Chains A and B, each alone.
Chain A
Amino acid sequence: MKKATIITIVAALLLIVSCNVDSEHGIYYQVATSQPTSGISIIQSLGCIVEGEDVTHIFLSDDGLYSTPSTKGGTELVPGSQGKNIRGAYFDINFPVFIYSDATGTVYTLLGGESTELGNYADYKFEISSNGFAYNKDHYASVPYGVKDAAISNPRFNGQMMLSMDGTTKAKIYTYNSDEEPLSITGLTANATGFTVAKGASSYFVFNDKSVYEVTDTQTELNDETLVVSGLEAAPTGGYKAVQYSDDTNTPYLLVRTSKGFTKINTDEDEVVEKNVQFLSALNDVVVLDMYTIGNSSKIAIVTYANGIRIADMENKTVTDDIL
């Protein structure tokens, strides 16, 4: 009887202890790195408008299209049920115009606060991505449309690039030029895991198999010549996110979101400067949707899924609380 009691107690203790065996992080680590949730689920980042000191961030949440700054949660750009049905949007800052599509496949422009219907593309099940592609979400291999200048077009516009699937579930990257067949990036050794546009140049940083490459829109091969760095930490779910910025000496850096945190790369020297950027470590475990620079400054907006928008000052090594 005594033996049975001891075995029961030991078994119960082992059961309790084993409960945290499979988790990736320790409990106090999870607590120490927990971040306040904004109460807003951002599903797409559309960048920002800078006018002097005023910065307006634009994003699509599961509740509609919003801009900051304003009251908590931002300003609703498309009111009512139409706004709540938006599934994808693109903001063309040069026009400036919003193009968005809703759940029925209808595409609209939003100019000066007024919505205009461009047409219904229900057959294509359009979704519009942040870099100006309207694509068929059920058929990634299908030819996407481009959206720009308050118009929707096929063929696409010059220099646009997208991550796509080739029909065999392998992710590929294409660059598009009007009136030409898309150029597929070659030299991929695994699934492509993302790309980002280089600042002030017609080139892209492409991520493949824990390496980052820099290619132009006509130079489409990943090789030793185009390699920037290798041996990055793995990509988080949803692929690498990255942004290029410059410091006050005009040295170009690439800030990359990896599965372990943030890595800073000097893209002139092709070297990793800091593997786990310390002042951003509080954001190591949040889901990052997008990162972009605020104007020409070294301030970077880090747009998260559930933890709002944070502004990282890369010069002063500070990061703000959620600005929403």
Chain B
Amino acid sequence: MRKHLLFLLLILLLAALPAFSAEYYYEKGDTAFTFSVGVDFPFFQGFTNNETKGFEFGINNTHTYVGGYGALSYESFVTRNLAIGGEIGYAFNNSFAKKILTTIPMTAKLSWYPVQTGKFDLILHANAGITVIRYDDNRFLAPHIKLSVNPVYYITDSWGIGLDAGLWANYEHYGKSASGSKSTESAFGVFAPLTLSLIYRH
């Protein structure tokens, strides 16, 4: 059984190899505009300096429900398989107290296109920037990163639809001089967005 599985994996890998070959569809200077919308799953909150709270996974421990995520991005190819650009997003999740936690990330975006056949792209995105976190009249400006994988099928030469799945993380940092008990409340907020993406390229 195990041998069969290994064999199957080997066949799939060999079949996929041509896609990773150096045949490029894109030219330097091509551009892509992407609109994504979907759901945002709470993954974990990680308290880095707290005796009673550590890394807490899932809805019941993060006290956050599944919410929504949307983003707009624009990129330009700097090589035949690398594109850079920018993205602005919006994520919202309800807490158990029925108050909305929102995150508005503004990031630089790097996309690698290891598979590009003209009809199908496999894209790996890496974003880094800042985000405004807002909850119950409190706001915080935090560093933000996002990693995602995005297979895209092109219906026409210019328009494609894809599925984008990944993780984003914010870090809310408070120093020792922070007011109240916040110095022990520095935390990562990590969420997993799953979105449908609509891509226009030319």
Contact = CB atoms under 8 A, between A and B. Distances in A.
Contact of B174 (A22, A26, A37): A26
B187 interface: yes
Contacts of A95: none
The interface centre, meaning the residue of B132, B140, B172, B188 with most chain A CB atoms within 10 A of its CB, is B140
B150 interface: no
A301 to B, nearest CB: 20
A16 B52 CA distance: 29
Interface in A9-28: 13, 16-17, 19-28
A6 interface: no
Nearest to A261: B52
Contact of B96 (A22, A29, A34): A34
Nearest to A278: B52
Interface string A149-172: 000000000000000000000000
A16 B138 contact: no
A26 B172 contact: yes
Interface in B85-139: 95-99, 101, 132-136, 138-139
B63 interface: yes
A37 B52 contact: no
Nearest to A12: B141
Interface in B24-69: 45, 47, 52-53, 56, 61-64
Given A25-B185, A276-B52, A32 B140 contact: no
Nearest to B171: A28
A26 B187 contact: yes
Given A25-B185, A32-B45, A16 B97 contact: no
Interface of B: 45, 47, 52-53, 56, 61-64, 95-99, 101, 132-136, 138-141, 172, 174, 179-182, 185-189
B138 A29 contact: no
Contacts of B47: 28-29, 32
A25 B181 contact: yes
A17 B182 contact: no
B184 to A, nearest CB: 8
Given A20-B138, A20-B140, A34 B187 contact: no
Nearest to B98: A37
B180 A25 contact: yes
Q: At the interface, is chain A mostly helix, strand, loop or mixed?
A: loop
A31 interface: yes
Contacts of B182: 23-26, 29
A36 B139 CA distance: 22
Contacts, number: 90
A47 B186 CA distance: 39
Given A16-B132, A35-B96, A36-B96, A27 B140 contact: yes
B56 A32 contact: yes
Given A27-B172, A28-B187, A31-B64, 10 more contacts: A17-B140, A17-B141, A25-B180, A26-B174, A27-B140, A28-B45, A30-B95, A31-B45, A32-B187, A34-B99
A281 interface: yes
Contacts of B53: 29, 32
B132 A31 contact: no
Nearest to A306: B97
A33 B63 contact: yes
A60 B162 CA distance: 54
A318 to B, nearest CB: 14
A134 to B, nearest CB: 35
Shortest 8 CB-CB distances between A and B: which pairs?
A26-B185, A34-B97, A24-B180, A19-B139, A28-B187, A29-B185, A34-B95, A34-B96
Contacts of B96: 34-36
B95 A31 contact: yes
A32 B93 CA distance: 12
Contacts of A34: 63, 95-97, 99
Contacts of A26: 140, 172, 174, 182, 185-187
Most chain B C-beta atoms within 10 Å of own C-beta, residue among A17, A31, A36: A31
Contacts of B62: 31-32
B97 to A, nearest CB: 4
A23 B180 contact: yes
A319 to B, nearest CB: 13
Nearest to A27: B135
B167 to A, nearest CB: 16
